[in-house]
Amino acid sequence: MIENMHILAGMLEKVGLAALVVLTYRIILRWHLPALWRGPAIGVLFGLAAVVTMIDPFEVSPGVMIDVRNVMIALAAVFGGVWSAVIAGSIAVLVRIAIGGAGLLPGTVSIILGTVIALTFVHFRGNRRDLPTLALLGLVISFSLLSAVLLPVDVLVTMAVKSLPALIVRNIVGTMLVGSLLAMEERREKEYMTFKQLAERDALTGLSNRRALELVERRTPGHESSGLFCVIMFDLDHFKSVNDTYGHSFGDVVLARFAEIISMRIRGSDLVVRYGGEEFCVILNDARLDNAERIAEDIRQQLARENFSRNVTVTASAGVAQSSQEASSVYTVIKNADMALYMAKHKGRNEVVTYSKPVYLPG
């Protein structure tokens, strides 16, 4: 009994150190790596975690060591997939071979067996992270202890009699504890991304809101490093009258449709922002001024041809501006495009006007 408690205490201490794994896992999630790289990154993390547990293990007899390496490999399979588990298991095998000792063969077989068991479990059970599933995974991964049959008979008997219950409990508790902490981090990251998207998106149109411009401004400190860009400012003409005459529900339909028209006309690398109530801002990256003018005119014409319910038509005015040596800030170019938009409205609306310095506003 004392031996079992000693083993269990030592294993729980190693699981406590695995809190570092949770913190590193959070960093990997925040990096938002492509799927092709995320699995290998998680595999390296859990492989190194398995190595850390192997550096200072509990020694059953000279050269025969036990640790929570297979717990880490099992969690690699659940949280990172096939490649993650294979990479974690491979790292653990290489290090176990380098360590050597009397338990080299059973230790290596245990890692390989643990990797296969973990992948098989995930294949049939999926990558569920609830506590019952994690507990079952910890229990199943304990079958990797069958590699102990490769140990000398006296060591095998000693391990089976004195250590086996604590080793199984270690796997179950370790998998549940570390796995639940990792799952908690995943839930927090998903909640964070959901709230972030809600904060940066307009609920009606699904477009970015003005907060997105702050990110653009940070990425474009000057046109020398980021390339020229153009801004188009759109404003729906007499939109207050549309709302007053046909109701705000109808106005929402118009806004949503106009957002679709703009989004379909621009590239994926460009940005559309609902700048105000009926005002929209388009950032065209690496765009020439003549291209921006043509895009603005196409969007204006398409909206003018749109026939809403009750045979209602709506038009829009637009102002276009381009970045330059003197105007490299996004907000400066937006201000210039807004001045051109003012001119378009002054000329009678349903117009596209390009900013040119100086712009003389009517007094």
Active site residues: 278
Question: Quick one: which H or E segment has residue 319?
Answer: strand 316-322
Q: Which residues of 329-360 are buried (b: 16+ CB within 10 A; e: fewer)?
A: ebebbbebbbbbbbbbbeeeebbbbbbeeeee
Residue 340 to residue 359: CA distance in whole angstroms: 8
Rama region for 206: left / alpha / beta (φ>0; ψ in -120 to 50; rest)? left
Residue 290 tokens, joined? 């003549």
Token duo for residue 184: 């908690």
Contact between 283 and 330 under an 8 Å Cβ cutoff? The reply is: yes
User: What values do phi and psi take at 98, rounded to 5?
Assistant: -65, -35
Single out the residue of 18, 23, 1 nearest to residue 173, CA to CA: 18
Angstrom distance (rounded) from CA 325 to CA 309: 46
Classify strands 271-274 and 64-66 as parallel, antiparallel or unpaired: unpaired
Q: State the maximum Cα–Cα separation within the chain, in Å, rounded to a whole number.
A: 101
For residue 4, give Cα distances in angstroms to 168, 180, 303.
11, 25, 76
In the block, tokens 């529900």 appear at 249
